[in-house]
Amino acid sequence: MRLCTEKKILLPVLMASVLPLSSSCRKAESPNIILIYADDLGYGDVSCYGAKSILTPNIDRIARQGLQFSNAHCTSATSTPSRYSLLTGEYAWRRPGTGIAPGDAPSVIKAGRFTIASLLKSAGYTTAVIGKWHLGLGPEGGPDWNGEIRPGPMDLGFDYNFIMPATGDRVPCVFVENRNVLGLDPDDPIRVSFKEKIGSLPTGRENPELLKMHPSHGHDMTIINGISRIGYMTGGTSALWTDEDIADVITEKAVRYIKDNKNRPFFLYFATNDIHVPRVPHPRFAGKSGMGPRGDVILQFDWSVGEIIRTVEELDLSRKTLIIVTSDNGPVVDDGYRDQAVELLGDHKPAGPLRGGKYSAFDGGTRIMFIASWKGKIKPGKSDALFSQIDLMSSFASLTGQTIPAGEGPDSYNNLPVLLGKSRKDRSWLVEQSLNNRLSIIKGDWKYIEPGPGIRIMPETGTETGNDPEPQLYNLRRDIGEKNNVARENQSIVNELTELLQEIRNSAE
């Protein structure tokens, strides 16, 4: 008989201030779970969160059908650590080597590590990841692109994977299906380097006349599909993706996976490349937003969401399927290519009322759109409960009647009642991580950003980093835009949150 989930609480001395984590005994359920994970989509980038210059009808529809969160957070203002925390239930800053992964990084999550996928697989689910991975592949030293790629997602609980190894702007620009590069000609082997130029392919630095999209900073190495990337690559010509088709390819794979597994419980982690650079929409969406490629790929992401919803409805799976739509971190406008994102932004505010964005310690980097829909189980509405993506592991364990092994998912709390709209009780606290590993903590209405050195505005992107040599304290209920630092007037709160953050940082399972 499966046991109900019971998570031990970190920092037992803080018992009174920490969310209760043990689930009450209940009959386990096995809904299909579809987790749709956008890339660099801001809190203010979709119309149900207040965007006026762009319309996202499919996301809006699932928001109307489900529960729309206004105070949900990822764990980090950048991609790799957010994805690591999401899948493992552990804050990435606890583990060295979980920063933004290069394209040839070894597997960031070690083979056999317990993940959301292995949790659900133990509950009888078939599991898949389709889309962007960006958590490294292969052993120390990096993957063998021309042979079997292991370890990878299939060593972390996924039965099937169809992935982009890293990001759209990093080589190698190929898909990996299960353990092999898709469509690779063995007579044209892939070589990759992030240290020095290899091969004879032109680069953006040396051959800018060959580019259809020019870099604004960096991104001037090997040219693939008329776009220069981060890193050098040679070979693999038959396996190269076409950027304009990425959304179509991965969405088709996701739809096929849902159809093939309609008669048994499945978990689909569908991680899109939109809205990450380079932003190269399919011709169906090019020029449709009036905001340039960045706006066009938001429309493209909305289309992908719509295709998933339509498939679930056509297969009559709506009452059997929990769908979550969210993002890995906040927005960035100019992230390395001259794509008119800045010039055509107009009155649109990608982070909505929030300050900062991707890379930042301010909430624009980590407060994200988060929508949960499950027909007949989640009552439509809105929730302002404090919620973290890191809690999905323990919440899914509670949902399916599983037990998380000792030592795994140490930072994940069972927040299933909040996820399903049965409670609006805030998480007792949550920790956020910015680019330079600066940590901040939210507890109740208060957010504290620890002091430290560093630039205040990133010169490349124009992002406010939140770096400050002085402590920062904001009352988020009164000041969601984090404009007024009230640390000096509230020294006792600063002291309390400093001590709490330090205890969390020093804690171990």
- CATH number, domain of 476, equals 3.30.1120.10
Q: Token pair for residue 296?
A: 């066009």
| Mean pLDDT across 304-319 | 98
- What is the spatial distance between Cα 285 and Cα 15, in angstroms, rounded to a whole number? 51
pLDDT in tens, 171-228: 999 999 999 999 999 999 999 999 999 999 999 999 999 999 999 999 999 999 999 9
Count CB-CB contacts under 10 A for residue 99. 21
Q: Is the residue at 7 inside a domain?
A: no
Task: Please enumerate in sequence order all residues whose Cβ is within 8 A of that of 144, keeping only pairs 6 or more positions apart, or say none.
Answer: 138
State residue 346's pLDDT score: 96
Are 160 and 43 within one domain?
yes
Q: Is residue 3 part of a domain?
A: no
The answer to whether residue 163 is domain-embedded is: yes
- The structural domain count of the chain equals 3
Does residue 335 contact residue 277 with C-beta atoms inside 8 Å?
Answer: yes
**Helix 246-260 crosses helix 292-314 at what angle (to 10 degrees)?**
10
Same domain, 321 and 461: no
With respect to residue 4, please indicate whether it lies within any of the assigned structural domains. Answer: no
Mean predicted confidence (pLDDT) in 265-281: 98
Q: Are residues 454 and 409 in the same domain?
A: no
C-alpha span between 425 and 385 (Å, rounded): 6
261 and 373 co-located in one domain: yes
Quote the CA–CA distance of 127 and 139 in Å, as a whole number. Answer: 23
Tokens of 130: 């389709």
Q: Is residue 425 part of a domain?
A: no
**35 φ, ψ to 5°?**
-105, 110
What is each CA distance from 76 to 80, 116, 193, 216, 445, in whole angstroms?
9, 18, 27, 25, 20
Residue 294 has what DSSP assignment? Answer: H
Which one, of 268, 20, 287, lies nearest residue 129 by Cα?
268
In a domain, 59, yes or no: yes
**Quick one: 301 and 382 in the same domain?**
yes
Residue 441 to residue 439: CA distance in whole angstroms: 7
Instruction: Tell me the C-alpha distance between 450 and 469, whole Å.
Output: 9
How high does pLDDT run on average in the chain? 94
Residue 6 pLDDT exceeds 70:
no
* CA–CA dist 350, 369 (Å, integer): 11
Q: Which CATH number does the domain housing residue 178 bear?
A: 3.40.720.10
On whether residue 442 sits in a domain, the answer given is yes
Examine the domain organization and report whether 65 and 167 are in the same domain: yes
Domain span including residue 219: 191-234
pLDDT value at 12 more than 80: no
What is the spatial distance between Cα 466 and Cα 472, in angstroms, rounded to a whole number? 9
Distance CA 436, CA 368 (A): 20
212 lies in the same domain as 303: no
Of the three residues 394, 419, 444, the one that is the final residue of a domain is 419
72 lies in the same domain as 200: no
Distances from the Cα of 496 to the Cα of 113, 207, 470, 489, 503, angstroms:
34, 56, 16, 14, 11
Interatomic CA distance for residues 495 and 476, integer angstroms: 18
Claim to verify: residue 319 and residue 466 sit in the same structural domain: no
What pLDDT, on the 0 to 100 scale, is given for residue 27? Answer: 57
pLDDT band at 507 (very low <50, low <70, confident <90, very high): confident
pLDDT at 22 over 60: no
Do both 226 and 252 map to the same domain? no
Which of residues 419, 445, 478 is at a domain's end?
A: 419
CB half-sphere exposure, 215, CA atoms < 13 A: 20
From CA 197, how far away is CA 213, in angstroms rounded?
A: 21
**Number of CB atoms found within 10 A of residue 124's CB:** 13
431-479 pLDDT, tens per residue? 999 998 899 999 999 999 999 999 999 999 999 999 999 999 999 999 9
Question: Would you give the distance in Å from CA 404 to the centre of its chain?
Answer: 22
Residues 152 and 207 in one domain: no
Co-location of 229 and 249 in the same domain? no
pLDDT tens digits for 24-66?
A: 344 578 999 999 999 999 999 999 999 999 999 999 999 999 9
Per cent of the chain over pLDDT 90 is 93
Nearest CA to 212 out of 221, 195, 200, 225 is that of: 225
d(CA 232, CA 229): 8
Listed residues 419, 450, 469: the one ending a domain: 419
